[in-house]
Every structure is written in C-alpha cells, then in structure tokens.
C-alpha cells in the first residue's frame, strides 16, 4: 500500500516540533531528532515504539529502545503525537501534523490488520450536538471502524465459492 496522502513539509514540521519542545523546556537532541525524522518519514503509518526502533537500527543509530519510549512519551505529553491502539493492542503513534490538527478516523481490518485513515471529520455534527446538549466542548475525538477490507472481503467471497 502506498504512503499516499498529503505532501508534508518535513523541515517545517521538524522546526515546529523543535520550537514546541524548546518552549516546554526540552531539547531536540540528535536521538530525539532521529526519532522525529522516522515519524515524519512514516507519517501516514502508525508505527509502534519497536517499529520506530527497528527503523533507527536500519539507519545505523545505536541508542536504546528506552530512549525511543521516553521520547514518544514526551512528544505525546506535548500533544505532538497521539497514542492509538487498534485490535492488536499494541500502542502505536500518530504524528499530529498541520494536516492533522483534528484527529482523523481509522478503518481497521479485523482479518489482516490493515489500517486506513479517513481524513474527513465525520463527527463535526456530533461535536456540535455534544456542545449544545451537554455543554461540553470537544477538543478531539477518536473513531475506529472495525470490519473487513476490500481484499479480505474478496478472499472471503472466493473462499465461500470454493466451499459450495
């Protein structure tokens, strides 16, 4: 599956992250910068800490997995990352970039695990209803649709045909 989606200005995003960290009293160390670079390069994916660590090893970085976890925690606390969990229960990370100011939705195939992002805000009417009826201003939301992707539906149809 292609990474597709919007084109990202990685230098601008790196600068934005650096400024946010600096304002919160953190430095963008070379290790943290390498982790952010992996997140930027894979911004259409939802990588786990271990997957980020593997990418860093491939790029010949030699710091520990604990550094990855600490950095992810800092970035999450600063609202630069969102921690998401899908059907596999593994914590994955979604970089909050300028094209993702509001959380997007996910389609997760329960058979093969493929995850697709929906970049339309499908819940703006619901947020207005919540504000009006409950006097609660929603700042963000998470919505995951579980089901079968087109490929798994096709495989299921083919499999069902062979059993008849």
20 marked as binding residue: no
Burial of 120 (0-12, 13-18, 19+ CB in 10 A): exposed
3-state SS class at 71: helix
pLDDT tens sequence across 95-137:
876 544 556 677 878 888 787 777 777 788 888 898 899 999 8
User: Cβ neighbours of residue 14 under 8 Å, at least 6 residues apart?
Assistant: 33, 36, 37, 40
Total length of the chain: 164
Does 152 appear as a known binding residue?
yes
What domains are there in the chain, each with its CATH number?
6-100 (1.10.10.10), 102-164 (3.30.1490.190)
Digit-coded pLDDT (tens) for 43-101: 878 899 999 999 999 999 888 999 999 999 999 999 898 888 776 778 888 887 654 45
The answer to whether 109 is annotated as binding is: yes
Token code pair at residue 89: 């229960």
| pTM: predicted TM-score of the whole model, two decimal places | 0.65
């Amino acid at each position: 599956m292609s990474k597709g989606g919007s084109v990202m200005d990685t230098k601008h995003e790196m600068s934005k992250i650096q400024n946010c960290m600096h304002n919160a009293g953190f430095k963008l160390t070379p290790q943290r910068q390498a982790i952010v670079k992996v997140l930027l390069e894979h911004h259409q994916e939802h990588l786990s800490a271990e997957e980020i660590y593997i990418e860093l090893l491939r790029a010949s970085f030699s710091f520990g997995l604990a550094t990855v976890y600490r950095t992810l925690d800092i970035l999450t606390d600063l609202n630069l990352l969102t921690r998401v969990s899908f059907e596999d229960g593994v914590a994955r990370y979604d970089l909050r970039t300028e094209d993702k100011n509001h959380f997007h939705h996910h389609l997760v195939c329960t058979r093969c695990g493929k995850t697709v992002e929906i970049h339309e805000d499908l819940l703006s009417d619901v947020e207005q209803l919540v504000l009006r009826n409950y006097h609660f201003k929603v700042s963000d939301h998470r919505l995951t649709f579980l089901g079968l992707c087109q490929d798994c539906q096709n495989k299921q149809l083919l499999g069902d045909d062979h059993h008849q």
